[in-house]
Amino acid sequence: MPKRTLISNATCVLPGETRQANVLIEGSTIIGIDPPSTAHVDELRDASGLHLLPGCIDDQVHFREPGLEHKEDLRTGSIACAKGGITSFLEMPNTNPNTITIEALHDKLNRAASKCVVNYGFYIGATGNNIPVLQAAQRTPGIKIFIGSSTGNLLVDEQAALEQIFAETTLPICAHCEDETTVRANAERLSGTTDVADHSRIRDHVAALIATKRAVDLSTRHKHPFHVLHVSTAAEVEFLATTPDWVTAEACPHHLLFNVEDYARLGTLVQMNPSIKNKEDNDALWQGLLSGVIEVIATDHAPHTLEEKAKPYPSSPSGLPAVENSLALLLNAVHEGRCTLENVVDWMAAAPARIWSMKAKGQIAEGCDADLVLVDLQKQHTIRNAEQVTKSGWSPWDGVTLTGLPVETWVMGQRVWSDGKLVPDVLGSEVQYERTT
Ligand code: DOR
């Protein structure tokens, strides 16, 4: 008989209602909400005073394995997820080698099976000439296109190649949208700069909007499910309000919480692609989330070492780590009254599960996987570089005090993070997808 655990007395964010409930887990599955008191239970976890949420699903992380393991690897990245309340991640293909073949995809899945402490999935990367791979790929949430180059060498910019990908493949597509021509022209104009604030002038508002419109146009004409990664501008939010239902979008904590004024304090630590923008853009992204134009919050966790980040701009790499703090940052936003706890659950669990057709994920409901996080909404804590478990060992939020903290994470019915540390010998599982096409 698989072990039965009852998580009792927590305030649970259930689909459509938030209330105190008892959640019964058998093996890796939630088998009952408020089961009869006579139900057999092997372990009781009294969670009085805490809130129980479905584990977060981060659909955009860079865990750097294989090839760039000095920045992060699948084990350290997944441990950072466990600490942060993220129970499933979807990882990007700009590793070395790039994940652009079935062999590379399976290699990542095999590596993850033996070392990831949370659930995992990996995108297949588009190159412009790997259509047969994109057509054959299974065991993946979808196709990632860099319409605009970022870290690594994956870029598909030619219209004919993009048309072919949208026309001849069926997996959902997501894209990094920054217009390469605009970015290159801006870089040329500002060549010689060493001011990191110019990053937002080079990767400017226009570059983001042109590429997002171009990708949405492809998706609309080909009726192809499409997810806009890391929206960074008010103009994109306004545009996305007019797009078909099968176009979805996401925002990242750094685009919600940082803007160009932060370069003075944080320098290259907030150098990201797409770049951080202005205060008005922060506000528009929040509005976009609250109005449902943007469905998902994901981190784009993109760790580089502090040594790499200390290089002078523009030699400094773009990207920052975030998985271990994203939920806490959003719980703090709940504390500040910017959004509700139910919003956070929707953006960070239910919506990504739905968009990527994940089987049995994203909800606290009978039959769903027991991927759960207990949070303490009152707990104050200060983010400290020294306490970060990402291999990169830093956070752009170092020194920031937040109210609200994930305190215990469960993956497939097993406690994986508890009392401030990793529970040994727990491994996650491969995310499964339920697609009709
Ligand atoms: O700033 C970024 N860094 N944006 C991306 O899209 C990629 C990422 C990375 O892999 O470093």
* Structure-block tokens of residue 114: 């033996």
For residue 152, give the ligand 1 atom closest to its CA.
10
207: left (phi over 0), alpha (psi -120 to 50) or beta: alpha
The mean pLDDT of 153-181, rounded to a whole number, is 95
Of 316, 334, 355, the residue that ends a domain is 355
CB 270 within 8 A of CB 262: yes
Residues 342 and 389 in one domain: no
The CATH number of whichever domain residue 290 belongs to comes to 3.20.20.140
Compute the distance from residue 28 Cα to the ligand 1 centre, in Å: 33
Of 97-111, 150-164, 386-400, give the lowest mean pLDDT range.
Answer: 150-164
- With b meaning 16 or more CB within 10 Å and e meaning fewer, what string describes 281-306? bbebbbebbeeebbbbbbbbbbbbee
Q: Output the average pLDDT for the chain.
A: 97
Ligand 1 pocket test: pick from 318, 320, 390 the residue with the most ligand atoms within 8 Å of its Cβ: 318
Evaluate if residue 396 carries a pLDDT over 60.
yes
Residues 404 and 351 in one domain: no
Question: Which pLDDT does position 200 carry in this prediction?
Answer: 98
Q: How confident is the model at residue 436 (pLDDT cuts 50, 70, 90)?
A: confident
Residues 331 and 387 in one domain: no
For residue 62, give the ligand 1 atom closest to its CA.
10
Radius of gyration of the CA atoms of the chain, in A: 21
Question: Which pLDDT does position 1 carry in this prediction?
Answer: 86
Compute the distance from residue 272 Cα to the ligand 1 centre, in Å: 7
Does residue 108 lie in a domain region? yes
Residues 208 and 317 in one domain: yes
Q: Give per-residue pLDDT as tens, 84-136.
A: 999 999 999 999 999 999 999 999 999 999 999 999 999 999 998 999 999 99
Does residue 429 lie in a domain region? no
Does residue 109 lie in a domain region? yes
Which protein residue's CA is at the shortest distance from atom 4 of ligand 1?
Answer: 273
Question: Which pLDDT does position 358 carry in this prediction?
Answer: 98
Of 332, 355, 378, the residue that ends a domain is 355
* Type of residue found at 285: L
Compute the distance from residue 43 Cα to the ligand 1 centre, in Å: 42
The CATH number of whichever domain residue 382 belongs to comes to 2.30.40.10
Q: Give per-residue pLDDT as tens, 145-156.
A: 999 777 777 889
For residue 229, give the ligand 1 atom closest to its CA.
6
> Which ranges constitute the DSSP H helices of 268-395?
279-291, 306-309, 326-335, 341-345, 351-355
For residue 230, give the ligand 1 atom closest to its CA.
6
The mean pLDDT of 284-306, rounded to a whole number, is 98
Of 318, 334, 355, the residue that ends a domain is 355
Does residue 431 lie in a domain region? no
Q: Report the candidate in 227, 221, 231, 218 with the shortest Cα–Cα distance to residue 246.
A: 227
Q: Give per-residue pLDDT as tens, 224-275.
A: 999 999 999 999 999 999 999 999 999 999 999 999 999 999 999 999 999 9
Residues 13 and 146 in one domain: no
Angstrom CA distances, 335 to 259, 290, 305, 339, 378, stand at: 21, 16, 32, 8, 8
Residues 229 and 206 in one domain: yes
Evaluate if residue 300 carries a pLDDT over 90.
yes
Catalytic residue among 179, 198, 300, 376: 300
Compute the distance from residue 315 Cα to the ligand 1 centre, in Å: 14
Angstrom CA distances, 372 to 114, 313, 344, 414, stand at: 21, 41, 14, 9
**Judging by DSSP bridges, how do beta strands 29-33 and 17-26 pair with one another?**
antiparallel
Question: Which pLDDT does position 413 carry in this prediction?
Answer: 98
Q: Give per-residue pLDDT as tens, 29-78.
A: 999 999 999 999 999 999 999 999 999 999 999 999 999 999 999 999 99
Does residue 349 lie in a domain region? yes
Residues 12 and 76 in one domain: no
Q: Is the pTM of this model over 0.95?
A: yes
Residues 19 and 74 in one domain: no
Q: How confident is the model at residue 182 (pLDDT cuts 50, 70, 90)?
A: very high
Residues 303 and 416 in one domain: no
Compute the distance from residue 39 Cα to the ligand 1 centre, in Å: 48
* Structure-block tokens of residue 62: 């860079």
Residues 153 and 39 in one domain: no
CB 212 within 8 A of CB 228: yes
Residues 183 and 291 in one domain: yes
The mean pLDDT of 401-419, rounded to a whole number, is 98
* Type of residue found at 28: S
Ligand 1 is surrounded, with C-beta below 6 A, by 62, 94, 150-151, 176, 272-273, 300, 302, 318-319
Question: Which pLDDT does position 293 carry in this prediction?
Answer: 98
Does residue 427 lie in a domain region? no
Phi, psi of 182 (to 5 degrees): -65, -45
Supply the range of the domain harboring residue 253.
56-355
Q: Give me the number of domains the chain comprises.
A: 2
User: What CA–CA distance (Å, rounded) separates 113 from 360?
Assistant: 19
Evaluate if residue 437 carries a pLDDT over 60.
no
Does residue 436 lie in a domain region? no
Verify whether residue 300 is a known catalytic residue: yes
Residues in CB range of 192: below 8 A, 6 or more apart: none
For 242-286, give the secondary structure using H, E and C: CCCCCEEEEECHHHHHCCHHHHHHHHHHHCCCCCCCCHHHHHHHH
Ligand 1 pocket test: pick from 151, 270, 309 the residue with the most ligand atoms within 8 Å of its Cβ: 151
Residues 232 and 280 in one domain: yes
Residues in CB range of 267: below 8 A, 6 or more apart: 196, 313
Q: How confident is the model at residue 435 (pLDDT cuts 50, 70, 90)?
A: confident
